[in-house]
A and B are shown apart, each in its own frame.
Chain A
């Protein structure tokens, strides 16, 4: 399958006022295929957000320090920058700070308006996008009257209306209550499974990462682990070493194994746990 995002040995650093460079990510080598569902795990300051910003050319790799290729276009390519951003949408952490308009449907229309689409086609896309996230009946509401989860779904609709191939969620659930989180997560699942949109889920919640097909673990700006959730969470000790938790069930199984039980490694769900417990 085709790669939608390609990181070739990318490094990126921030420069402060005095010109000192602090590396944010180092030597990232990663390929994301069309239709993938990838979770990027790591605690604060691990370079997750920098990684996200590299994906749609908000940040560029340091000179001669690798390339990021999005849908065949190098992100250094200034003229095609909007093609890249249209292709790779991004949903941020704070729902309030990404809604532009005073009415839901106007906000969803913002992206398509920017890329100069016909008014009737924008109308169709807006209705379509709002239906997909289940916010159609709120299309005339004012954003500040919605709950956090609803606002975030509106933000997602605003991205879908641009018809991207890939959406990056930069800790999009971290400011929501449990109900809002659930709403947003099931919307994300729907986007990936039903619409075939590539999803990159940046998070520090383990139970969110478990939903992905593949997990990338970052620490100090480097990718230290990569694999399916089951593979990743078999490394309980390594994850704990860099200050990350594992899902509760996984940890219980791990601790029980120390005391002579025989659970297979990387148990992720309560169902798995019960199944093995009976045997």
Chain B
């Protein structure tokens, strides 16, 4: 069950999107997210949805895989939509019972926000689907490097991220092992109410904490033995290089933003 967590699962195919320099990709993602926010009417939103579908198509990541990441947030989306429907009281009232009024603009906002959130998730997950964790942390280290001026240890932050990503599967395995060990000793994890079930997690958490500390100490030893001294004087095997693909990606982004502005201006009749 725990193994289904698709936290930034890299999807290994060769595509234009995979080839974009990770630094550029992160920057473009941020711009993309802002652009999605800029859309203030259904036509702009529809347009940006098309561009996102196009990007997904270019990335060669199957829609089935993308849908998985949407599934994970579906409840949050439904919940926010419902809140929007029930508590937005502007526009024409369609149904009314008691204090709750359902209006046409409420429903429109709900749909609009839902689509927006879905697009957020799709485009963000596309970053992790098309970039290896190593490239991602390398890029973050590079992008954050201006922070060195204000004495932020950027290298350590990136190193911690790498190690965290590296240890997720190891910790999941450990949880499995401990759960089985506790079950073998008669621990009951499946029955009882919520309170009882939460309590039954404690005998898993405590051994997990202890073994993580031990792993951390072992890893620190191993890293010291391999001459690790932090970021100072360290070279990297992988060098990030910008290519023509990055320029194309930037141009694409620019065109999308330009179209957005124009559409926002002319399609104000469809405004939410």
Contact = CB atoms under 8 A, between A and B. Distances in A.
Interface string A217-239: 00000000000000000000000
B234 A113 contact: yes
Interface of A is mostly: helix
A102 B235 contact: no
B227 A111 contact: yes
B227 A101 contact: no
Interface residues of A, number: 39
A261 interface: no
Interface residues of B, number: 30
B229 interface: yes
A109 B238 CA distance: 9
Contacts of A115: 227
Contact of A122 (B163, B221, B235): B235
B228 interface: yes
Interface of B is mostly: helix
Contacts of A86: 227
A96 B235 CA distance: 24
Given A109-B237, A123-B237, A100 B223 contact: yes
B163 A100 contact: yes
Nearest to B170: A96
B235 A103 contact: no
Nearest to A106: B134
Sorted nearest first, the 5 A-B pairs with minimum C-beta distance are A97-B218, A98-B222, A144-B169, A109-B237, A111-B226
6 contacts: A85-B226, A92-B222, A106-B134, A114-B227, A119-B238, A159-B226
Given A58-B221, A98-B222, A112-B237, 9 more contacts: A82-B229, A89-B226, A97-B215, A100-B223, A101-B166, A113-B237, A119-B237, A126-B237, A142-B169
